[in-house]
Amino acid sequence: MKKTIYMLLLSSLLSPVWAQDEGQILESIKQNNTTLNALREKASADKIANKTGINPANPEVEFGYLWGSPSEIGNRKDLSIAQTFDFPTAYHYKTQLSKGQNRQVDFLFAAEERAIIQEARLICIELTYRNLFEKQLSKRLKQAEELAEGYETLFSKGEINIIDYNKTKLNLLNTRKAYEVNQVEQKALSDKLQTLNGGMPVNTELLLSYSDYLLPKDFSSWLLLAEERNPNLKATEQDIALSRKQEQLTKALNLPKLSAGYVSERVPGTTQQGVSVGVSIPLWEGKNTVRHQKARTIAMQAQYDDTRLQFQNELKSNYEKAQKLYGVLQEYDQLLKTSSNEELLEKAFKQKQLSLINYLLELSAYYDAVDQYLETEKEYQLIAAELRQWE
């Protein structure tokens, strides 16, 4: 039995990590991210903390034992039990405030979660670009190697000069270095995703295409939905609601406090007992507290207006930039479809219709266009992701 268990554990450790697409990676990070797990625990603790302090103060019990002098008069025993209450409406506002604070905890956690998932989404886009670029570089590296090998053979036979031979070696070196640099970037991005995934490996082999996303046609309507889905804005709104509720609570706490209790006094042969009732007179303790809370509410409203305006302007800017990049992307796409000269250039070179230098120059110009297309596509996807997070 133990042997079977050991074999199962060993096979699970040696089995490869299944390739994951963007959606699977983001979902895995949502479950495994150590920061999010810590924030979940903190949110639970904060919600418990928000439920404290809403009950009445603890009752007070006082006992007194007084020795009589002269001793003939006996000893006196006093007992008092008292309970203090805030004005009744204060407990209503405390409960409402506690519930509002717990909703605020949810908004703040959602904002943190969205920020981490967005960071991972942007890394996935960068990785997709690097994976697509690797496909291009792999093909170029193979061509450069074949060209360098062929020219090395020709040089060894004395059919070409060393200048042309060195050109092919330099072309191979540049292509190989570009390929290696791209691999370094891929590894760095994969490591970042693994860190976000709680240290668990992430297989990014499926990141070879971007998520489909169409820009909203009616930006104004879409913006209203985005505002509703923005937890940072909702948290700021909740701050204002909590501040207004705190105003009501502050007013209630400034009303007279009530106290009630039981009192007894015992001396030999005599017992006196009864109830006690008290009321506090709110003269100085709560001075300016309501004014201060109202000022805080006004400040929070101004902060919300500023945050909302910045959010709207940022989305509008990203939307307009995405539109322009999409147009440029379509132009590049059309150009590359109609002017894919790679095979024609190779054919012309082999038929000696192009010199080596002209072949490399023409090939470099075509590769530059492909690289620009991939760069533009990545930039568009990064900007689109800033909009997509609010879908």
Which pLDDT score is estimated for 283?
66
Q: b or e along 39-61 (b: 16 or more beta carbons within 10 Å of the residue's beta carbon)?
A: beeebeebbeebeeebeeeeeee
pLDDT digit string (tens) for 318-350? 999 999 999 999 888 888 777 766 777 777 777
- Over the chain, what is the mean pLDDT? 85
Which pLDDT score is estimated for 285?
66
DSSP string, 224-289: HHHHHT-HHHHHHHHHHHHHHHHHHHHHHHTSPPEEEEEEEEEETTEEEEEEEEEE---SSTTTTH
Q: Could you give the CA distance from residue 311 to residue 236 in angstroms, rounded to a whole number?
A: 13
Q: Could you give the CA distance from residue 379 to residue 228 in angstroms, rounded to a whole number?
A: 27
Does residue 208 carry a pLDDT above 60? yes
- Name, in order, each residue with C-beta under 8 angstroms of 68's C-beta and a sequence gap of 6 or more: 74, 75, 76, 267
Does residue 369 carry a pLDDT above 50? yes
Query: Given the structure tokens 């995703």, which residue do they identify?
Result: 193
Nearest to 90 by CA among 239, 255, 243, 295: 255
DSSP string, 110-163: HHHHHHHHHHHHHHHHHHHHHHHHHHHHHHHHHHHHHHHHHHHHHHHTTSS-HH
Max Cα distance, the chain (Å): 137
pLDDT digit string (tens) for 8-55? 333 333 334 456 788 899 999 999 999 999 999 999 999 999 888 787
Question: 3-state class of 1 per DSSP?
Answer: coil
Best mean pLDDT range from 19-23, 124-128, 157-161, 247-251: 124-128
What does the DSSP 8-state code read for residue 72? G
- Chain Cα centroid distance, residue 385: 13
Which pLDDT score is estimated for 340?
67
Does residue 187 carry a pLDDT above 50? yes
| Amino acid sitting at position 160 | I
Q: Helix crossing, 289-338 with 356-388: angle to 10°?
A: 150
| Amino acid sitting at position 103 | R
| Domains parsed from the chain with CATH numbers | 26-388 (1.20.1600.10)
Q: Which helix (H) or strand (E) holds 313?
A: helix 289-338
Which pLDDT score is estimated for 65?
82
- Judged by average pLDDT, the poorest of 76-80, 352-356, 369-373, 379-383 is 352-356
- Judged by average pLDDT, the poorest of 122-136, 226-240, 350-364 is 350-364
pLDDT digit string (tens) for 226-270? 999 999 999 999 999 998 888 888 887 777 777 888 888 887 778
Does residue 366 carry a pLDDT above 90? no
Nearest to 24 by CA among 191, 208, 190, 202: 202
Query: Given the structure tokens 């009530």, which residue do they identify?
Result: 258
